Amino acid sequence: MLSPANVAIAGATGAVGIEMLLTLEKRNFPVKNLKLLASSRSVGKKFKFHDTEVSVEELTPESFKGVDIALFSAGASVSREYRKACTDAGAVMIDNSSAFRMEDGVPLVVPEVNAEDAFKHNGVIANPNCTTAIMCVAVWPLHRAKKLKRMVASTYQAASGGGQKAMNELIQQTRDVLDGKPAQVNVMAQQIAFNLFPHIDVFLDNDYTKEEMKMVNETRKIMHMPELKISCTCVRVPVLRAHSESLNLEFEEDITPAEAREILAKAPGVQLRDDPANKIYPMPMEATTMYDVLVGRIRQDVSRTDKKGLDIFISGDQLLKGAALNAVQIAEVLVGKN
């Protein structure tokens, strides 16, 4: 694909769409022309891109004429509706929804892991689930060195995973509770202020949630490990932005914490935060607005008699590496910038 590229953002006024716009600017993505697309109620809103004001246009099937790359963050139903119009116009759709992630022939890409898969597309490239993307960045370099065999994940997912309305609900509920008022639950499954709950997305027949099974199935696809053993529990926590995860990892080969630190210190997209004696470890407050995934609390699994197990803790910005940044990085791969 030629650079610079004509770029469109579908869902430009949402939380992730806004981060996509900011990320394109901050990373100096080679944009020739930019279209901001949203529903009719957002038409006319203006956003600054470098030194230019760009007005939001209504998303229609004709929106993609002349577009090279279309970044989608408007929900799965919208992505499905506009897929044909987008690809028929010759644009590559980089989709942030769950619509096409597990579809055969659609690459599911985390550039630090499987950038080469991006070139195997037939017009659509899928962005992974936020927790999956953050996890893969941290786990992949360890797998390459020591061959991952099994993983047990527990997530601590911020309100940002539910979009701007969920973030607003956390803020409003917190104010209400502190003022002695009842918390109104309208967006999330339960009260989130001063609470947490193990319920993200719908429950499936196997008693896992859809979010949990996304992490299982998407990780296997991204890492090209269809038999990888994974179990996951996803929990919503009263954090505004940035997800965290506790990971128990089993490898085929011995690995020590010192080896893991050495591997991760050189890994792309990772920053070590592993000095507990000085209160340095990954925290969502620090990960917020950061591109890299923070990794720390690296320790040997003491439940084992061998040295094939590790425990680590990670934090990553759900709106960036978990969504907008990853999509822009995929676009960078396509234009040869990354």
Domains of the chain, CATH where assigned: 5-127+323-335 (3.40.50.720), 132-318 (3.30.360.10)
pLDDT for 262 equals 98
Q: In the beta sheet, which residues pair with residue 299?
A: 311
Q: For residues 174 and 191, give the distance between their C-alpha atoms in angstroms, rounded to a whole number.
A: 10
CA distance linking residue 150 with residue 132, whole number of Å? 15
User: What does the pLDDT average to over 99-108?
Assistant: 98
Whole-angstrom Cα distance, residue 286 to residue 244? 11
Rounded to whole angstroms, the Cα distance separating 116 from 130 reads 20
Mean pLDDT for the stretch of residues 204-208? 98
Whether 136 is catalytic is: no
Q: In angstroms, what CA-CA distances link 3 with 30, 104, 117, 331, 334?
A: 6, 28, 20, 11, 9
Do 283 and 222 touch, CB atoms closer than 8 A?
no
The residue-averaged pLDDT of 205-227 equals: 98
Fill in the amino acid letter for 175.
Answer: R
Give me the pLDDT at residue 3, please: 79
Whether the CB-CB separation of 131 and 234 falls below 8 Å is answered with: yes
Which residues, listed in sequence order, are joined to residue 5 by a DSSP beta bridge? 31
**DSSP code for 127:** P
Rounded to a whole number, what is the distance in angstroms from the first to the last CA of the chain?
13
- Per-residue pLDDT at 164 exceeds 90: no
Which of these is catalytic: 130, 136, 232, 234? 130
Please confirm, yes or no, whether 243 is among the known catalytic residues: yes
Longest dimension (CA), the chain: 63
Matching residue, tokens 């008693």 = 207
**SS3 of residue 214 by DSSP:** helix
The SS3 of residue 331 is: helix
- Residue 117 DSSP symbol: G
Q: For the whole model, what pTM was predicted?
A: 0.95
- Coil/strand/helix, residue 172: helix
Q: What is the CA radius of gyration of the chain?
A: 20
Name the helix (H) or strand (E) containing 15. helix 15-26
Provide the 3-class DSSP secondary structure of residue 28: coil
292, 289, 228: which is closest to 264 by C-alpha?
292
Location of structure tokens 């116009």: 89
Q: Which of 143, 232, 234, 243 is catalytic?
A: 243
Please give the structure tokens belonging to residue 167.
């973030």
Inform me whether the pLDDT recorded for 264 exceeds 70: yes
Q: Percent of the chain scored above 70 by pLDDT?
A: 99
Identify the three-state secondary structure at position 122: coil
The predicted model gives 37-49 an average pLDDT of 96
